[in-house]
A and B are shown apart, each in its own frame.
Chain A
């Protein structure tokens, strides 16, 4: 087999027959375009009932009494259940990762027990024949609350007189961490320039078009549970549901068919979803929970509520010497299970300033409890903040020193030939391309021309701004992300691939599809590995009974980790097929290859089709030697071993215009150059960048979960909570630099989050670039007209 191994070691992704690197269309898109998708709320099962929840109207209150008699008599009502009853069948959970040292969070129950701790916390479950009847009965449930003072402001959460949400902890501290290289104070003291600022990032949320939904079907005869879940991590959910409800894990099956947007929102343990599973167990019939939009705003995880104080020290020539940050974030009353609510802060500490050459770094992160909805991991976790903080400081310093922002970055970005290297925060970088990406970006933007145009327009009173950002992105995570902290979330992933009796290829993968194109790129990789037409390949995802155990889709891991498993499985199957071919063709496997779905002697075109080979193996085994057994199903797994994360990198640019009378920001154009290693499908990578950037734009300019001083969410409707709309969005131009990772044969890094991570920085820098001649500066996101007008002094 040595000949074959040599060939596969140098698998040529640039060959004409390779699907890797080609913008093929997504086979599953046609189904969705015809409205033939199947989302959880589309599924109807026999004897299915619906649950709706009575939710807390208060941010903090004691439950005095729950009266359900009137509600129970309402039409269609099947059962009304309180938190205490759910707790009889469901064990509590604790959202703590042990590697985030000192982190604490109390046990959490699906429904509130005696105290409610955020507005929207589920309190009573009402099960009825229809969702409408369940909602009617929810209105009739009478819960008496004794309102308690609430801890809302993260800045005051640790004050001596603060309301302590969990008395047993003595304070509202959830997690604290410090990173310190030791020389920051000395560097700050001797620096030519120290710039400092405090930057606020507003709380926002994912607003998936399909609200969260779950359909749990407990079968009492089998003691099995089938759960249709719109989620990203089926095996993680399998473990959680089995362990919480004391079921055998292998009798819990999670099916994730079409998912209507996820972005990290649908990867957590929500009490209303776990309660639906518990109710199915209690009632021994299918129970569906489909959140409405109001519930989504109140209970889908929020993210990004951070205040960061930053200081940056530079020498006379503009070389960065030291960076210091202090991050404070309020994450709600509990740390979310099982990924914890400490990760966004932790990422900010790990990533801030990561593209740059400074040697000294000190960072402090403080995570506190508060009486608002919980925060947890949403697309690009921590990146938008880490990147915006560093890029803002770099621009502030550049302006003070009279250096052009592009020049400032060229001066300070880690040189492309300096890898592998380590950041001051301890992140290990395998191979990044900041300078190549920045050079390509500036060319794409026609940067110098834009600057000239900007100068000309300023004379006419038009305030245009140009903003840049350089960034790193955590992708392809190893077990160092969650597994090491005790969470049962797989970092490895697998692929089982088989040659079926008719010659087609079926590949089952543990990573999942939410529309980003997972199934498509896996088919591209499998077809390339095997030497078959892509149309012969069917990819299975999202069913714990059918796919190898895997982590699912998060932290931009599907292409890099799931893709490598598919590649290795495909090559292993090819080896087995060639062995069969050698037996049938009376040849050596090393002399054979698969070309266009045929086993051929290398260099010839005549050969044996895979359909014929499969026919012989499956139906006419009598034609094979008695001592030879074909194996046409293989499984391979892959995990990242050499690095904690395989970082990708890139650069973004933004051109915009600020209306200084109204404060409105008009985006003119965005540019993105991304290095995600080997690009499997350029079109799909571009669309991840565009969609990601627009979510970044949302956080930078529009999206904000606004709470009043009693902890009431003020804008929990789609009309009041602003998301990016078609008319306000600019065209986004993309380009790539390809530095394949050597940690895998495929060489792919993740591409799903870089857009969201890099955009807010470029936008804030562009706004400040526009406002600089007026002596104004914004340091608060979302950059609403009010924020701009306050910066200008028009509004006080």
Chain B
């Protein structure tokens, strides 16, 4: 208990900005982003690494913000939905999501977008089955998933067409 409450100095980059904070050792990354940095686009749905709503990017890889301690992100580069929206990196996916109505309440959406962007980076041409399989770590209670698959597939197809594949 005592060790968990001890403060740890951390220094990291969040959405390209340098951040220094003193945080309790037990504070998880999602709560750090939400409560300390007011980046509330990262959502907390289960706090045990299942629902995927808190998915963020740490040093280029997607992670569960609720399963990583803030102090573990010391020295890392963290990207959240706010940063990737401002940099327009997610714009094509976001537009496709809006067009196919791949979100309703929007609570899972930032996490789903993080996962979708990672999938398309590693596998530019996934099948619908592969997209469905990849989203195994992201719960959505509103859409039934089909429109999410449609949106990701549409972006993959558009990118493939542009690159002449």
Contacts and interface: CB of A to CB of B under 8 A. Distances in A.
Given A691-B144, A726-B148, A514 B97 contact: no
Contacts of A725: 135-136, 139, 145
Best-buried of A34, A261, A692, A727 by chain B (most CB within 10 Å): A34
A725 B138 CA distance: 8
Interface in A237-267: 258-263
Interface in A110-158: 132, 136
A654 to B, nearest CB: 14
Interface residues of chain A: helix, strand, loop or mixed (majority):
loop
Interface stretch (A360-368, A560-568, A591-599, A682-690): A682-690
A693 B144 contact: yes
A690 B98 contact: no
A731 B103 contact: no
B158 interface: no
Contacts of B110: 35
Interface residues of A, number: 57
Contacts of A517: 101, 104
Contacts of A259: 105
A515 B142 contact: yes
A132 B105 CA distance: 27
B143 A209 contact: no
A35 B144 contact: no
Looking at chain B, what size class is its interface with the partner chain?
35 or more
Contacts, number: 176
Interface stretch (A24-32, A99-107, A475-483): A24-32
A209 B43 contact: yes
B107 A39 contact: yes
A152 to B, nearest CB: 27
Contacts of B24: 132
A293 B101 contact: no
Given A208-B141, A260-B43, A260-B105, A727 B98 contact: no
Interface string A205-223: 0111111000000000000
A726 B145 contact: yes
A33 B113 contact: yes
B98 A25 contact: yes
A293 B138 contact: no
A414 interface: no
Interface residues of chain B: helix, strand, loop or mixed (majority):
loop
Nearest to A133: B5
B51 interface: yes
Interface string A420-462: 0000000000000000000000000000000000000000000
Contacts of B131: 726
A261 B142 contact: yes
Contacts of B145: 694, 724-726, 729
B147 interface: yes
Nearest to B82: A35
A545 interface: no
Contacts of A33: 94, 97-98, 103, 106, 109, 113
Contacts of A38: 40
A762 B136 CA distance: 25
B135 to A, nearest CB: 4
B90 to A, nearest CB: 8
Interface in A714-735: 717-719, 723-727, 729, 731-732
Contact of A35 (B26, B42, B143, B147): B42
20 contacts: A33-B94, A33-B98, A33-B113, A35-B41, A35-B42, A35-B82, A37-B107, A41-B40, A44-B38, A209-B45, A260-B105, A263-B141, A690-B146, A692-B144, A694-B143, A724-B144, A725-B135, A726-B145, A727-B136, A729-B145
User: Which 10 pairs across A and B sit closest by C-beta, in order of nearness?
Assistant: A35-B41, A32-B106, A260-B107, A35-B81, A515-B104, A694-B144, A515-B105, A42-B40, A726-B135, A690-B144
